[in-house]
Amino acid sequence: MFELVERCKPRVVTLEETSGLIERHGEFFNALVHVFTSSGYSIQWKILEFMQYGVPQIRRRIIIIASCIGEELPPFPQPTHGPGLLPFRTIGDAMSSVPANATHNEPITHFREGSNWPKRPYDPNTFARTITCATDTYHPSGRPFTRRELAAIQTFPNSFKFSKYGAKKQIGNAVSCMVAKTIYSEIVKSLRKADGLEV
């Protein structure tokens, strides 16, 4: 990643990492910060709870924003969901948006003998566990989530087209779309203001 930064010298850089980078691997996080500051970038970071931005899962991630020399650091976005704001979104909310005929929405209904599926059903008015490439979170009915349902929990629009292979990995590795949109809206606003384009 940093080779791209060195070659392109972008005005603003963003990164997303699991919160464990700070909580369990501080030396690597400090090295990352040093790489940016030694190249003249200002850097800030914050652990965000993605449910506060409309993502129906328990997902804590470090968001890092860096700006090059002469650029102001854009602010972190304020939460959009929670007490006094929009209501938190749940698994049920995400599932209700998925059309039955959506691509990548074929449910797994047959289970191998001896497998621990299906699971015991649970309340859809809750948050999903963190969606990852090897996620073991499951649909409230007890079956595994379809790839389209996982994408909905990651807040991908239903129109988003995944590749034929590796869709689950792409979904699990992605920054939740609603969070990305919120962060980049703040960055665009900051850059437009710096360029005298903001009314």
What local confidence, expressed as pLDDT, does residue 137 receive? 79
Are the C-beta atoms of 82 and 88 separated by less than 8 Å?
Answer: yes
* 73 inside domain: yes
Q: What are phi and psi of 34, to 5 degrees?
A: -60, -40
Q: What are phi and psi of 115, to 5 degrees?
A: -75, 160
State how far Cα 7 lies from the chain centre.
26
pLDDT band at 117 (very low <50, low <70, confident <90, very high): confident
- Look at the block and give the residue holding tokens 């993502």: 55
pLDDT band at 163 (very low <50, low <70, confident <90, very high): confident
Task: Reply yes or no on whether the pLDDT at 113 is more than 70.
Answer: no
What local confidence, expressed as pLDDT, does residue 139 receive? 87
What local confidence, expressed as pLDDT, does residue 46 receive? 95
What local confidence, expressed as pLDDT, does residue 179 receive? 96
* 164 inside domain: no
pLDDT band at 114 (very low <50, low <70, confident <90, very high): low
* 48 inside domain: yes
pLDDT band at 199 (very low <50, low <70, confident <90, very high): low
* 39 inside domain: yes
pLDDT band at 2 (very low <50, low <70, confident <90, very high): confident
pLDDT band at 164 (very low <50, low <70, confident <90, very high): confident
Residue 189, CA distances (Å) to 12, 47, 108, 197 in order: 12, 22, 43, 9
What local confidence, expressed as pLDDT, does residue 76 receive? 95
* 63 inside domain: yes
* 28 inside domain: yes
Task: Reply yes or no on whether the pLDDT at 84 is more than 90.
Answer: yes
* 115 inside domain: no
Q: Looking at residue 47, which CATH number applies to its domain?
A: 3.40.50.150
* 10 inside domain: yes
**62 is in which domain, residue-wise?**
2-77
**For all residues of the chain together, what is the average pLDDT?**
89
Total domains in the chain come to 1
Is 86 or 142 the better-scoring residue by pLDDT?
86
